[in-house]
Amino acid sequence: MRRWLCSLVLMLGLMSVLAGCASTKAATPGEQALLDASQALVTLSSSFVATSQSYTAKCGATPRQMSVADCNAFIGFSNSFKREYASAVDDWKQARASGSGQAAVAQRVDGLNAKLKPYADKAK
């Protein structure tokens, strides 16, 4: 349980950092793409946190509300997702610093969304 809490705190911290990067001036197309990517990362993080909370509740319930296989599958996915998400955030930071690579970040976020979707659907 403590490991999940630490993961949730980490994800929420990343969300705060990314949300703070928004600007009030008119954005160039590259800046807008970067802003869109950051918002997509925040949304993805929120979805992952909600899915994790649901799995934690359902896998820890008595009686268990999900199969052991489903719970174990999510644990494996969760570990992989956290590494890939952190890497996507690093790519976003690099795109922000270099002014290029926003499309690659958007593709990574889309890929992570596709991987999360089956778990999120099952957690409902």
pLDDT of residue 11: 57
Q: Is the pLDDT of residue 22 over 70?
A: no
Q: Which two tokens stand for residue 57?
A: 């509740």
Residue 24 forms part of a structural domain = no
Per-residue confidence band for 30, with pLDDT thresholds at 50, 70 and 90: confident
Q: Is the pLDDT of residue 94 over 60?
A: yes
Number of domains in the chain: 1
Q: Which two tokens stand for residue 100?
A: 């290029």
In angstroms, rounded to a whole number, what is the distance separating the alpha carbons of residues 38 and 102? Answer: 10
Cβ 92 vs Cβ 105: under 8 Å: yes
Cβ 24 vs Cβ 76: under 8 Å: no
Residue 106 forms part of a structural domain = yes
Residue 40 forms part of a structural domain = yes
Q: Which two tokens stand for residue 29?
A: 């197309």
pLDDT of residue 119: 97
Q: Is the pTM of this model over 0.75?
A: yes
Residue 16 forms part of a structural domain = no
Structural domain including 58 reads 2-7+30-123
- Average pLDDT score, the chain: 86
Q: Is the pLDDT of residue 4 over 90?
A: no
Residue 20 forms part of a structural domain = no
Q: Is the link from the previous residue into 63 a cis peptide, with omega within 30 of 0?
A: yes
Q: Mind listing the pLDDT tens digit for each residue in 35-69?
A: 999 999 999 999 999 999 999 999 999 999 999 99
